[in-house]
Structures are given as C-alpha cells and as structure tokens.
Amino acid sequence: MKNNKVKLKTVDGFSISGIHSVSESTTVILWLHGITVNKNEYLNLFKDGAEFLGNYGVDSLRIDFRGHGESNGKSTDFTIIGQMIDIDSAILYLQDYYKSKKMNLHIVSCSFGAPPSIFTAFLHPEIVKSITMIAPVLSYQRTFIKPETEWATSIFNLKTISKLYKTGKLYINNKFPIGITLFKEMQLIQPELFIGQINHKVTIIHGDSDTMVPYNVSKDLSMKYNNINLITIKEMDHGFNDLNDEIGNSEASMNNKQYIYNIIKANVINEEV
C-alpha cells in the first residue's frame, strides 16, 4: 500500500488536501471527517482505519474539508454545500485515477461528515455502493439548532447565536468559529429526509452514551426506515471512546475501534462481522 499526497482543486477555488492509499485494488473508501478535526479524524480513527483496510486490499482517500487540516480556507468558509463541492472534487479525482476500471466506491463518515455522505449516496446511487456512519449527525435541528445534549447546548444558545448575528462567528471550540452561512444551512437542511431514500446499504454505528451527538436520533431513524442497519455500542461516547476514557486508549475503547473497523471491512468486501 502506497500513500500519495494529493491536492484537489474545487470549482469554487479551494485547494483540498488528501492522502490516497493505493494498491492494485479498484475498491476504495472515501473517508469524511467531522467538524474541527482533519483527514485523520479524532485520535487517528481514519488514519488507522485506512491502514487496517489496506491490509485487505482496499484503497482509501482521506480528505481535509475546506477550512480544516492542510486544505486552504478559514473555518468560516466551511459550509454544508462546501462539503458537497469538496466531495465532488474527490469523486472526480477518483474516477480519473481509476479510469476505465470499474471503481467500487464506499463512504465512511464520522459525526459532521455524515450528512454529506447521505447526500452523496442519494445523488449518486450509481457510484456509491455503501455508506458507514460513525456517531453521525443525522439531524442538524436535534443536534445543534434545538440541541439535545449538554455539550451542544453550551455552544448553541441564545447568547452565542445573538453574538453570531453581530460578529458573524460562533465558536465550536476556542480555535474554530463557524460562520453565519453554515448556521443558516443547519436551520434549513434536513439529512433525515434523504437517508430513507438511499437504496444501498446504510450502516450507522453509534454509542448509546454519546455526549455530543444524540444517539436517539440514530435510534429513531433506524426504526423509521428499513434500509438502515443500526449497530449500537454500549457505553461508547462520541467517536470510538469508551464513556470513561477521554484519550481513547482503554481496553474498551480499543475494542470499540477494532469492532468499527471490522464492520467497515464487512460492508466493503461483503462478509459477515
């Protein structure tokens, strides 16, 4: 497996950084990270995942969304539509790379990377074979606009939203402000309306102790739509961490991480977990 650095140009002028892990395969995973992190994801969940899947002959493309990692742009340039444009650039690159070979594209997303994976699978059913979402944001309303977790309530409240309308910035953390465009998009866009219309396999992996993105949204949608396979991991917080492990190196956290990789592998190469 060879790791190639790539720079992708978007039609609206951004330069998207990526790592393309290649072999002789035509099966490839596009990894879509969450907000404030990068192509490696929190605690290298994606970087290690790409290496793990590479051992089974699966290629990977990990990208930094605009305003993240090594891609250009400010955090306030980051928007949902921008994510979609970045993904378009990634897919065009992959189609050109694999050329006449029949590419089998799968998407793995985490947290805020989940909605654009849903939209991409909905818009390109002929290209995307499956999506696997980890601790996914499936409702902007229930996660951010009318938050159901204490973490989100501390960020999205009357005081911070009022400040957003005055300054144009709302801070997700001390170093990552989002802009008014993203906030307005989250008020209007509803990924939960699209997920049930995807014909391919949709797998949700979510911890029932997620303190950042409400698990009940995943549970509710899995009960509503037959195309969703919800895999619940008990006492797992956001990402793969066990609830009592902030740095992600406990035995429970490591077991969660390996379990997630095995699920992805099963989805990609069509085997049982």
Band of the pLDDT at 263, cuts 50, 70, 90? very high
| Averaged pLDDT, 32-40 | 98
Dihedral angle sign, alpha carbons of residues 217, 53, 128, 32? positive
Which residue spans within the chain are E strands per DSSP? 2-9, 15-22, 27-32, 59-63, 104-110, 128-134, 170-173, 176-178, 201-207, 228-233
Strands 176-178 and 170-173: antiparallel
Query: Is the confidence at residue 118, as pLDDT, over 80?
Result: yes
Residue 271, pLDDT score:
56
Query: Is the confidence at residue 273, as pLDDT, over 70?
Result: no
pTM of the model: 0.97
**Chain segment 142-179, per-residue pLDDT in tens:** 999 999 999 999 999 999 999 999 999 999 999 999 99
Residue 11, pLDDT score:
98
The CA distances from residue 58 to 95, 135, 222, 254, 269, in Å, are 16, 23, 28, 22, 9
**Chain segment 126-146, per-residue pLDDT in tens:** 999 999 999 999 999 999 999
Residue 146, pLDDT score:
97
Percent of the chain clearing pLDDT 90 (strictly above):
93
Contact in structure between 71 and 17 (CB atoms under 8 Å): yes
Q: What is the mean pLDDT of the chain?
A: 96
Residue 183 corresponds to which tokens in the numbers above? 């906030």
Q: List CB contacts of 68: < 8 A, sequence separation 6 or more.
A: 33, 35, 36, 37, 38, 75, 78
| Averaged pLDDT, 97-125 | 93
Contact in structure between 19 and 49 (CB atoms under 8 Å): no
- Note every long-range contact of 5-11, with CB atoms under 8 Å and residues 24 or more positions apart, other chains counting: 6/61, 6/93, 8/63, 8/86, 8/89, 8/90, 8/93, 9/89, 10/66, 10/85, 10/86, 10/88, 10/89, 11/85, 11/88, 11/89
| Averaged pLDDT, 252-261 | 98
**CA–CA gap between residue 131 and residue 118 (Å, rounded):** 8
**Chain segment 217-252, per-residue pLDDT in tens:** 999 999 999 999 999 999 999 999 999 898 999 999
Partner residues linked to 21 by β-bridges: 3, 60
Query: Is the confidence at residue 100, as pLDDT, over 70?
Result: no
Residue 1, pLDDT score:
87
Query: Is the confidence at residue 41, as pLDDT, over 90?
Result: yes
Closest-CA residue to 136 (of 203, 90, 196): 203
Residue 138, pLDDT score:
98
Band of the pLDDT at 115, cuts 50, 70, 90? very high
Band of the pLDDT at 270, cuts 50, 70, 90? confident
Contact in structure between 102 and 26 (CB atoms under 8 Å): yes
Report CA Rg, the chain: 18
**CA–CA gap between residue 64 and residue 188 (Å, rounded):** 25
What structural domains does the chain harbor?
Answer: 2-139+191-268 (3.40.50.1820)
Residue 24, pLDDT score:
87
